[in-house]
Amino acid sequence: MTATVNFPRRPDEVLVDPDQAMVPEDRPTAYEPVSVVARYGPPRATVKPNPDLNWARRLAPLVFARKKHLVLGLIASVFTLVIQIAIPRTAGLAIDAISRNASGSLAPYAFMLAGLAAARATASYVYRYQLQRSSLGIETDMRNMIYRHLTRLSFSFFDRVQSGQLISRANSDIRAVQMFLGFAPTVAISILTFFAAFGFMLSIHVRLALVAGMTMPFVYLTGRTMRTKMFPISWMVQARTASLATIVEENVTGVRVVKSHAAEAQQISLLQRAAERWLWASNLQVDIRARFQPMMQNFPRIALAFVLLYGGWLAIHDQVTVGELVTFNGYVFMLQAPFMMLGFLMVMAQRSSASAKRILEIIDQTPEIQDRPGAFDLVDPQGDVRFEEVSFGYGAGENILTDFNLHISPGETVALVGRTGCGKSTVARLLARFYDVREGRVLMDGNDIRDLTVPSLRAAVGLVLDEPFLFSEPIRDNINYGRPTATQEEVEAAARAAGAEDFILELPAGYDTVIGERGYTLSGGQRQRIAIARTLLANPPVLVLDDATSSVDVQREQEIHGALATLMEGRTTLIIAHRLSTISLAKRVLLMEGGRIIADGTHEELMATVPQYAEVLARAEDEWQAAHNPPKPSDLDDPLDSDDEPDLPPQLRALKHLAAARSNEADTPRRSFEPETFGGSTPGAGGGQ
Partner 1 sequence: MGWGGHWGGGWGGGHGGAAAAGLPFAGIPPELRDAVEKIEEHEPEIPLRPVDFSQRTPEADKHFTLRGFLRPHRMSIVGALILVGIDTATLHVGPLLTQLGIDKGIIHKNFGVLLTVCLLYFGSIVVNSITGYFRLSFTGKLGQRLMHKLRISTFSQIQRLSLDFFTKEKAGRIMTRMTSDIEALQQLFSDGIVNLAVQGITLVFVIGVLVSMHAGLAAVVLFAIVPVMAAMTMWFRSASDTAFLRVRDRIADVLSDLSETLSGIRVLTMHNRQRHNAIRHRNIAGEHMDANLTAARISGAYGAGAESIGILGQALILMIGGGMVARGSLSVGQLTAFILYLTAVFAPITQLVALHSTYQQGKAAVTKLADLFAMQPSVPERADAIELPPIAGEIELRDVTFGYSPETVVLHEVDLRIAPGETFALVGPTGAGKSTIAKLVTRFYDPLAGQVLVDGHDLRNVTFDSLRRQLGVVPQEPFLFAGSIRDNIAFARPDATDEEVAAAVAAVGITEVVDRLPQGLDTPCHERGVTLSSGERQLLALARAFLAQPRVLILDEATSALDLATESMVERALDVVLQGRTAILIAHRLNTAMRADRIGVIEAGRLVEVGSHDELVALGGRYATMHELWVEHGGSVRAPATASV
Task: Give whole-number Cα distances, 455 to 317, 372, 450, 452, in Å.
Answer: 86, 12, 12, 9
Total residues contacting partner 1 by CB under 8 A comes to 222
Give the contact letters, 256-285, x = binds to partner 1 (CB under 8 A), - = no: xxxxxxxxxxxxxxxxxx-xxxxxx-xxx-
The residue among 388 and 607 lying less far from partner 1, judged by its C-beta, is 607
Q: Which of 61, 65, 122, 585 binds partner 1 (CB under 8 A)?
A: 122
CB 173 within 8 A of CB 342: no
Question: By CB under 8 A, what part of segment 507-546 binds partner 1?
Answer: 538
Smallest separation, CB 73 to partner 1 (Å)? 11
Query: Could you say which residues in the range 131-190 bind partner 1, by CB under 8 A?
Result: 132-133, 136-137, 139-140, 143-144, 147-148, 150-152, 155, 158, 160-168, 170-171
Nearer to partner 1, 389 or 615 (CB): 615
- CA 372, CA 361: separation in Å to the nearest integer? 24
Residue type (1 letter), 493: A
The span from the CA of 635 to the CA of 444, in Å, is 47
Residue 212 to residue 168: CA distance in whole angstroms: 45
In angstroms, rounded to a whole number, what is the distance separating the alpha carbons of residues 113 and 94?
Answer: 10
Helical axes 488-497 vs 554-568, angle rounded to 10°: 120
Residue type, 277: R
Options 1, 7, 9, 26; binder of partner 1; rule CB under 8 A: 26
Is residue 609 within 8 Å of residue 594, measured between CB atoms? no
Per CB under 8 A, the list member of 410, 411, 474, 484 interacting with partner 1 is 484
Q: Is 68 in the site for partner 1 (CB under 8 A)?
A: no
Residues of this chain, 627-646, that bind partner 1 according to CB under 8 A: 628-629, 631-632, 634-636, 638, 640-641, 644-646
Is 207 or 256 the residue whose CB approaches partner 1 more closely? 256
Site residues for partner 1, 573-632, by CB under 8 A, read: 580, 614-615, 617-619, 621-626, 628-629, 631-632
The residue from 55, 194, 481, 613 that contacts partner 1 (CB under 8 A) is 481
Smallest distance from the beta carbon of 3 to partner 1, in angstroms? 25
- Work out how close the CB of 389 gets to partner 1 at its nearest, in angstroms, rounded to a whole number: 26
Interaction with partner 1 in 644-663: which residues (CB under 8 A)? 644-652, 654, 656-662
**C-beta closer to partner 1: residue 313 or 405:** 313
Comparison of 54 and 405: residue with beta carbon closer to partner 1: 54
| Backbone angles phi and psi of 32, in degrees to 5 | -110, 105
Closest by CA position to 128, among listed 185, 172, 48: 185
How many whole angstroms separate alpha carbon 390 and alpha carbon 439?
A: 5
Which class for 298: exposed (0-12), middle (13-18), buried (19 or more C-beta within 10 A)? middle
- Shortest spacing between CB 22 and partner 1, in angstroms: 9
Q: Which of residues 290-329 bind partner 1 (CB under 8 A)?
A: 290-291, 293-295, 297-298, 301-302, 304-305, 308-309, 312-313, 315-316, 322, 325-326, 329
Interface residue with partner 1 among 128, 224, 227, 450 (CB under 8 A) is: 128
461-464 and 542-546 beta bridge pairing: parallel
Residue number, 410 or 683, with CB nearest to partner 1:
683
How do strand 588-593 and strand 413-418 relate by DSSP bridges? parallel
Question: Which of these ranges, 28-36, 335-343, 382-390, 487-495, lies near partner 1 under the rule CB under 8 A?
Answer: 28-36
64 or 471: whose CB is closer to partner 1?
A: 471
If the CB atoms of residues 439 and 474 are measured against partner 1, the closer one turns out to be: 474
Pick between residue 241 and residue 403 the one whose CB is nearest to partner 1: 241
Residue nearer to partner 1 on the CB measure, 354 or 388: 354
Pick from 257, 644, 283: nearest CA to 473 = 644
Nearest residue (CB) to partner 1, 191 versus 271: 271
Alpha-carbon distances, residue 481 vs 460, 514, 540 (angstroms) = 15, 14, 13
Burial of 21 by CB count in 10 Å (0-12 exposed, 13-18 middle, 19+ buried)? exposed
Contact predicate 576/545, CB 8 Å: yes
Residue nearer to partner 1 on the CB measure, 380 or 665: 665
* Region of residue 411 (left: phi > 0; alpha: psi -120 to 50; beta: else): left
Residues 6+ apart with CB under 8 A from 30: 10, 11, 377, 456
Which of 47, 63, 109, 582 is the binder for partner 1 (CB under 8 A)? 109
* Cα–Cα nearest to 405, from 429, 436, 437, 440: 440
If the CB atoms of residues 605 and 645 are measured against partner 1, the closer one turns out to be 645
Site string for partner 1, 353-382 (x = CB under 8 A): -x---x--x---------------------
Q: Is 170 exposed, middle or buried (0-12, 13-18, 19+ CB in 10 A)?
A: middle
Q: Which of 380, 489, 604, 674 binds partner 1 (CB under 8 A)?
A: 674
> According to CB under 8 A, which one of 56, 71, 121, 509 is a site residue for partner 1?
121
Task: Write the DSSP assignment of 413-437 as a string of letters.
Answer: EEEEEE-TTSSHHHHHHHHTTSS--
CB-based contacts of 209, cutoff 8 Å, min separation 6: 198, 201, 202, 328
Q: Helix (H, G, I), strand (E, B), or coil: what is residue 154?
A: coil
What are the C-alpha distances in Å from 548 to residues 16, 37, 499, 544, 553? 34, 34, 15, 9, 12
Question: Which of 45, 65, 72, 106 is the binder for partner 1 (CB under 8 A)?
Answer: 106
CB of 439 or CB of 518, closer to partner 1: 518
Kindly indicate which of the ranges 58-66, 112-120, 185-193, 565-573 contains the residues binding partner 1, using the contact rule CB under 8 A: 112-120
Binders of partner 1 in range 202-261 (CB under 8 A): 231-233, 235-236, 238-239, 242-246, 248-261
d(CA 150, CA 172): 17
The residues in 413-472 that bind partner 1, with binding defined as CB under 8 A, are: 420, 432, 434, 455, 458-459, 462-463, 465, 469, 471-472
Site string for partner 1, 36-65 (x = CB under 8 A): xxxxxxx-----------------------
